[in-house]
């Protein structure tokens, strides 16, 4: 049984070899410390990249019209492709995988309320833009556009917190009217949360039908956004985009292989590629971290071998006066456990402290004005504790071999040892 006398004896042995024990402890602590730092860095990078997708649904696709770069069906190259209501109808009603659809009609304007004014973009969208672009209007801040706003071409607007701050100060803007370019009055129906918007100047949203009517946009769109269900693999994404290009090419009479005629951004595919990259990075981090831990564990095994060698005479005397092999085994094993436990705990504490410190610094430096490539570089506490426990167990196993060697020491041979 392990008691206070055994602990005092182990501490006495450690104190006689301070430098060697300290170096071994540093190796063990460094292993767990580096594992935490590397995992934290990997998580920070993953969280940063993931947050840069937060302004869009993870299954969203955006289409932009371009210019043809090759002749097709007797038509010359360098033709300008333009979107209109036919494209909107095709995507909304004739592609079964599509869930939500919106278009974008942009108009820069000077927006004013009483004596306050500023320059912002008015973006014409459908009610589905809230789902596609993760636009949230919190309780008490009004609402987003609805289907009737679009159908009836209502002159209503959903503004950003920045517009509210500049134009209304501390007033409640809901129900009030703002003017665009001193010609058109819009009723404010909501203020959206722009925390997911990476823009220095977040826009105001109006029904796209209203924008087309008031700003002579006809049926043209700048882009079409939509979400697609079921694109959970790279193969499904590739097949869907290929079918989409074929249908759009047939409608606009361009070669589906002509990438400059139709630009496609597929967030689902981007996310899958990012996850694939992060899987490789995580594996690399685990290998490097495990190597650091292994170096510390080998150090524990080495110091215990040296300890047994130096204490051969002492162990022989113990056995000569009646010490059992089990008591000798416990003594060596407990010394190994003590070294790995204390060093592992110190490495864990320092690792968590550093990652939390970096997290606080990143939070202080974070800006909503642009994307953050590194965010929340912390590690799950459960993972850290499991790694530390595994380290202690491995350190115990490392001390087992020299401990077993100690139990086989012959008292007579030990008495002859120098």
Q: How many residues does the chain have?
A: 418
pTM comes to 0.68
pLDDT (0 to 100) of residue 365:
60
Q: Which range, of 105-114, 238-247, 350-359, 379-388, averages the lowest pLDDT? A: 379-388
Is the per-residue pLDDT at 367 higher than 60?
no
CB burial of residue 137 (10 Å; 0-12, 13-18, 19+): middle
More confident residue, 48 or 160: 160
Residue 234 tokens read as 């790279």
How far is residue 123's CA from residue 120's CA, in Å, rounded to a whole number?
A: 9
Is the per-residue pLDDT at 163 higher than 90?
yes
Strands 204-207 and 116-125: parallel
Q: Which range, of 4-8, 51-55, 240-244, averages the lowest pLDDT? A: 51-55
* Mean predicted confidence (pLDDT) in 404-409: 69
pLDDT digits (tens, 9 = 90+) for 185-218: 999 999 998 876 666 788 999 999 999 989 877 7
pLDDT digits (tens, 9 = 90+) for 93-108: 999 999 999 999 999 9
Is the per-residue pLDDT at 147 higher than 60?
yes
pLDDT digits (tens, 9 = 90+) for 250-288: 999 999 999 999 999 988 888 788 778 878 888 888 788
Is the per-residue pLDDT at 414 higher than 70?
no
Report the range out of 225-229, 391-395, 411-415 with the highest average pLDDT.
Answer: 225-229
Is the per-residue pLDDT at 368 higher than 50?
no
Mean residue pLDDT of the chain comes to: 83
What sign results for the dihedral spanned by CA atoms 356, 360, 361, 363?
Answer: positive
pLDDT (0 to 100) of residue 356:
81
pLDDT (0 to 100) of residue 417:
55
* Mean predicted confidence (pLDDT) in 367-379: 62
Q: What angle do CA 312, 316, 318 make, to 5 degrees?
A: 120
Is the per-residue pLDDT at 50 higher than 70?
no
pLDDT (0 to 100) of residue 9:
67
């Amino acid at each position: 049984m392990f008691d206070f006398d055994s602990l005092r004896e182990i501490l006495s042995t450690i104190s006689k070899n301070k430098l060697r024990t300290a170096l071994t402890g540093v190796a063990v602590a460094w292993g767990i410390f580096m594992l935490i730092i590397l995992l934290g860095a990997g998580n920070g990078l993953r969280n940063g990249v993931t947050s840069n997708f937060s302004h869009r649904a993870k299954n969203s696709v955006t289409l932009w019209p371009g210019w043809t770069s090759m002749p097709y069906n007797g038509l010359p190259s360098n033709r300008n492709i333009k979107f209109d209501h036919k494209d909107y109808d095709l995507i909304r009603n004739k592609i079964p995988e599509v869930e939500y659809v919106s278009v974008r009609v942009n108009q820069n304007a000077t927006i004013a309320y009483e004596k306050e004014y500023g320059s912002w973009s008015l973006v014409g969208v459908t009610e589905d833009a809230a789902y596609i672009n993760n636009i949230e209007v919190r309780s008490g801040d009004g609402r987003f556009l609805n289907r009737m706003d679009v159908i009836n071409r209502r002159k209503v607007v959903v503004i950003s917190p920045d517009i509210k701050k500049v134009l209304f100060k501390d007033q409640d803007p809901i129900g009030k009217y703002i003017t665009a370019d001193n010609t058109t009055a819009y009723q404010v129906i909501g203020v959206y949360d722009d925390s997911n918007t990476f823009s220095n100047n977040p826009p105001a949203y109006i029904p796209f039908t209203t924008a087309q009517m008031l700003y002579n946009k006809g049926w043209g769109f700048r882009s079409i956004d939509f979400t697609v269900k079921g694109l959970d693999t790279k193969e499904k994404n590739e097949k869907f985009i290929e079918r989409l290009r074929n249908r759009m090419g047939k409608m606009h009479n361009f070669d589906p292989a002509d990438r400059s005629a139709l630009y496609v951004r597929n967030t689902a595919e981007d996310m899958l590629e990012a996850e694939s990259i992060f899987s490789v990075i995580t594996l690399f981090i685990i290998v490097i971290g495990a190597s650091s831990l292994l170096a510390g564990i080998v150090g524990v095994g080495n110091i215990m071998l040296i300890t047994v060698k130096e204490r051969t005479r002492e162990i022989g005397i113990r056995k000569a006066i009646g010490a059992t092999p089990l008591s000798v085994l416990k003594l060596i094993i407990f010394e190994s456990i003590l070294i790995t436990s204390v060093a592992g705990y110190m490495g864990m504490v320092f690792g968590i402290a550093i990652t939390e410190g970096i997290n606080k610094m990143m939070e202080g430096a974070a800006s909503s004005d642009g994307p953050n490539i590194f965010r929340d570089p912390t590690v799950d506490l459960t993972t850290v504790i499991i790694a530390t426990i595994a380290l202690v167990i491995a350190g115990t196993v490392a001390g087992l071999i020299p401990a077993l060697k100690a139990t086989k020491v012959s008292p007579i041979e030990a008495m002859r040892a120098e």
